[in-house]
Structures are given as C-alpha cells and as structure tokens.
Amino acid sequence: MRAGEGRGARPESGGAPPEPRRVLVVGMGITGRAVTDSCLRRGIEVRATDDRPTDAARIAASDRGVDLVAAPDDTILEAMVRWADVVVPSPGVPRGHPIHPVAGRLGTPLVGELDLAAVWDDRPIVAVTGTNGKTTVTTLIASMLQAGGHSAVAAGNTETPLVEAIDRDVRREIEWFVVEASSFRLERVRLFHPRVAVWLNLAPDHLDWHRDIDSYRRAKSRIWALAGPGDTVVVPMFSRDIQVEALGTGAEVIGFGDGDGPVEGLDVTGTARTDGGWIVDQLGRRIIRVDQMTRNRPHDVANALAAVAAAVACGLDPEPIAGVLARFEGLPHRLMRIGSAAGVEFYDDSKATTPEAAVAAVSGFDSVVLMAGGSDKGLDLSPLLGVTSRIRALVAMGETAPTLVDLFSGVIPVVKAADMAEAVEVARRLARPGDAVLLSPACASFDAYRNYAERGDEFIRTVGHQIESMEEDRR
C-alpha cells in the first residue's frame, strides 16, 4: 500500500530556469557564499546584497569579484532584481524581507539552494527534517551508508550546503547525499526531490520567523511534496502532528518508533521499532540490542530507529547499521557528558533550543538540576512542567529567565542567574550526589551568544573550572 492514494496529483515543480544567466544572491553567509561559488563555476554572473554584511562577507564578495550592496534602498533593490534571472535568498532571510514583494511584483523566481542543487545534480538524496534530532540522524544515516560500502556525505543545514557538496565531488564519486533540511530551506523548495524523506517530529519552533505553527508545519511538509513511486517517506509512529496533505502520490510509507501510528490517512508498510530490548528494522530483522548501543537514552533510541528505517530503505543490511549504533557517541552539545565531581555529573545539551528537546533530555535522568533559558523565540515553555518530578531545581538564565521563574515558582526551587558562571555555581550548590547538572536551555542562544555551540563551549569551560576547584577543595 502506498501514500497519497486518492489525494490528487503531485504538485507542479516550478522553480528555477534550467540555465539562469544572472543570479542575485541575498545574504552572504555560509549558504550565500556557497551559492555564489557554484554559480561562478558554471559561468553564471552573480551580484549580491546583504542587509548587515560582516567583514567576512565583504571580503568573500571582493575575492570573488562580486558586487555586494549593503542594505539597498527600494529603488536599488528593484534594479538588482530586474537585472537577475533568479533571486536566491539565504535560508535565514525572513519572509518579511522586501525581496519577496519586489521579486513577486517583477515576476522574478525566488529559488532556494536545495532547488539549485536539484537543477545541477540528479544523484539520490536522503533528506531529514524535524524540530529536534536532525543533525544526529543525518550523521547516523551518512555513517551507516559509509559503513555499508557506499560513498555518502552529509550536507544541507550544516557547514557544507548541498550546492557545495555536489561541486566538491568533481568526479561524481559520491553515491548518496544525506541532507539536513531545515524549515527555512524547505519553505522555498519546488524541485528538491529526496529518494528517502524522513520527518522526525514536530513541535513549536522558530515562531519568530514563521507566522505560526501551521506555517512551520507546511514548510516542513515540502520535504515530501514530490514523493512518488520508488520513493520512501519515513514517519514517526508516536506523532499525529505531521502534515500529510502535501504528500505526493505512490511513495512507500515506513514508520519508526513505538506508538499507535502516524497521522490518519497514511498506510504504513513496515515499522522500525523496539522489541524485547532489540532495535528491529521495518523488515522484522534484529539489528542490535538497545543496551549494546553507546547512546541509548529514550531520544537516542528514537533517533536510532529513524536512521535504521532510512538506511534499510536505502538497501543496507543489518551488520553495518549495527556497527554504527554500537560505536556512535553522539555529537557536541547534544547531551554530552562533560565530567563529574562529588558524585554530580555535568551534561552539555546546549543544542536543546526548544522546550520539547529539553523535556526529552530531562526524561533520560532520574534527578537533575536544570539550567534553562535564553533567547525568546515566542515559544511556550510550559511543557517543562511535565517533567518536574525529575527536576530537583531550576536555574533560569537569559531573556526568558523571568518567564521561567514565574512558571516554576511554588512548583520546584528556581533561582535566577545573571550569567553562565553564576548559573553553574548555583547549579553545583543545588545538586546532590547522584544528580546531573544539565544545561538544556529550551531556548535559543542569541540573547547572549552567536549560536548554541558558543553557549555550550562556555558551559564546558565553566564546568571545567568548577570541577578543578572542587577537586582542590577536597585535597
């Protein structure tokens, strides 16, 4: 049985002209620079604009001989759009940016980086989207393909955009591209067509960028808009929040996880699940015992099952899949153990930028002192109340600290901290032997840091100093 039976024809692809001669790049960050390089290699003329260009962006444009206009007014922006055959906005360019109405009025296509890659390369793709776990599952799938003897590379919402990945491979030796596909990238796609499309989960996120949760859901649903016969979509068996209306006709649907089933209307042909302490693939084959996996907390198991379902859909046998799961120790800033002192363990989960991600992290422990808070993305932080039985105390930080204090006052002990150093010190004092001090912020980092990695790095340094101090006190 297949997906989309009776839901109508697949959407028109539309999008970029096959051979644009002139491209306007909006935003000269990592993706903008990669798009510029890929266009120049193909003899396509490029101009660029950036509202707040960094020194790196200015240098990159100058080195490439590309005209970069900073924060153009409406007249200049319109002239730039008139010049271009195609406008390529970087993923983070918001929907309220003036480039959208100008391009719409002039009839100039707005094309995302993933669609450019689809124009230039036709090799098979596994794409992964979801609110949480994208990078981990992308890494697992790429590693499984490599372990199974295939040449595979991870790309997309990483340091390597897909257009850069396909251009690096001048000999076309890569067999599979495994693409981490954020909602920002997916919202504009019309040509991007993964052979295997994985949707991990859905929870409110980026509502400061998307209008609402429905807009966010529709953006993610573009991952499988062109799915058809010969393609596979992988869906969670524990969530009914994903959107099926955009699913193309005829793709095979594979489930993952232990639950009652995905949204109504999807006919699942097999499910990767746990059974008797084993990871079992959608064909019913035992892969590995859960207790033999290096990472086996509940969210680790869910990520593993999604990766197993995708890898088997790519044709892999159990052995290389099991080998990867047995060795995988996780990625930086994703529930990474930092160290321990006086019977207390310290974990860095700075990548947990949504309440749901923090809930998943807390759920893997018996007792934590939780360090949470950060930039306010308009998210509802109340889901954290559902795991208070596992939280000994909460240390609130950043812009959302007052909200967390109001939310948890009278429920569990909650202390507001001014910065990371104070937060770690307070958490250490509140923790008891057997507890974990867990940085799982449930919020973005942009109120105080450039990104979650910088926040996690400061936590690691601060914890290191605290552990050294505690050891000296004992001596």
Query: In this predicted structure, what is the pLDDT of residue 344?
Result: 95
Sign of CA dihedral 37, 43, 44, 50: positive
pLDDT at 6 exceeding the cut of 70: no
pLDDT band at 2 (very low <50, low <70, confident <90, very high): very low
Is 10's pLDDT higher than 80? no
Q: What is the mean pLDDT of the chain?
A: 90
Q: Where does the pLDDT of residue 260 fall: very low under 50, low under 70, confident under 90, or very high at 90 and above? A: confident
Q: Which of 146, 135, 133 is CA-nearest to residue 321?
A: 146
For 128-147, what is each residue's pLDDT tens digit? 999 889 999 999 999 999 99
For the ranges 11-15, 187-191, 396-400, the one whose mean pLDDT is highest: 396-400
Predicted pLDDT at 24:
98
| Mean pLDDT of the region 217-232 | 90
Say yes or no to pLDDT of 1 above 70: no
| Superfamily for domain range 336-474 | Mur ligase, C-terminal domain (3.90.190.20)
CATH 2.40.50.100 describes domain 114-327: no
Amino acid at 156: G
Report, as an integer, the average pLDDT of 317-334: 96
Question: Looking at the predicted structure, is the pLDDT value of residue 241 above 50?
Answer: yes
pLDDT of residue 96 exceeding 90, the answer is no
Instruction: Summarize the confidence of residues 78-104 as an average pLDDT.
Output: 94
Domain ranges (residues) in the chain: 22-111, 114-327, 336-474
Q: How confident is the model at residue 11 (pLDDT cuts 50, 70, 90)?
A: very low
Q: Mean pLDDT throughout 353-361?
A: 91
Query: pLDDT at position 469, please?
Result: 73
The model carries a pTM of 0.85
The CB density around residue 92, as the number of other CB atoms within 10 Å, is: 14
State pLDDT tens for residues 26-43: 999 999 999 999 999 999
Domains 22-111 and 114-327 share a fold: no
Residue 298 near residue 364, CB atoms below 8 Å: yes
Q: How confident is the model at residue 208 (pLDDT cuts 50, 70, 90)?
A: low
pLDDT band at residue 13 under the 50/70/90 scheme: very low
pLDDT at 7: 30
pLDDT at 57 exceeding the cut of 50: yes
Which pLDDT value is given to residue 225?
87
Question: Do β-strands 436-439 and 344-348 pair in parallel, antiparallel, or remain unpaired?
Answer: parallel
Mean pLDDT of 165-171: 93
| 275-316 residue pLDDT tens | 999 999 999 999 999 999 999 989 899 999 999 999 999 999
**CA-to-CA distance for 46 and 384, rounded, in angstroms?**
47
pLDDT band at residue 5, thresholds of 50, 70 and 90? Answer: very low
* 22-111 CATH: 3.40.50.720
Predicted confidence at residue 4, as pLDDT, reads 38
Q: What is the 3-state secondary structure (H, E, C) of the chain?
A: CCCCCCCCCCCCCCCCCCCCCEEEEECCCHHHHHHHHHHHHCCCEEEEEECCCCHHHHHHHHHHCCEEEECCCHHHHHHHHHHCCEEEECCCCCCCCCHHHHHHHHCCCECCHHHHHHHHCCCCEEEEECCCCHHHHHHHHHHHHHHCCCCEEEEECCCCCHHHHHHHCCCCCCCEEEEECCHHHHCCCCCCCCCEEEECCCCCCCCCCCCCHHHHHHHHHHHHCCCCCCCEEEEECCCCCCCCCCCCCCCEEEEECCCCCCCCCCCCCEEEEEECCEEECCCCCEEEEHHHCCCCCHHHHHHHHHHHHHHHHCCCCHHHHHHHHHHCCCCCCCCEEEEEECCEEEEECCCCCCHHHHHHHHCCCCCEEEEECCECCCCCCHHHHHHHHHEEEEEECCCCHHHHHHHHCCCCCEEECCCHHHHHHHHHHHCCCCCEEEECCCCECCCCCCCHHHHHHHHHHHHHHHHHHHHHHHC
Asked if the model's pLDDT at residue 349 lies above 50, the reply is: yes
Contact assessment for residue 234 and residue 313, using Cβ atoms and an 8 Å cutoff: yes
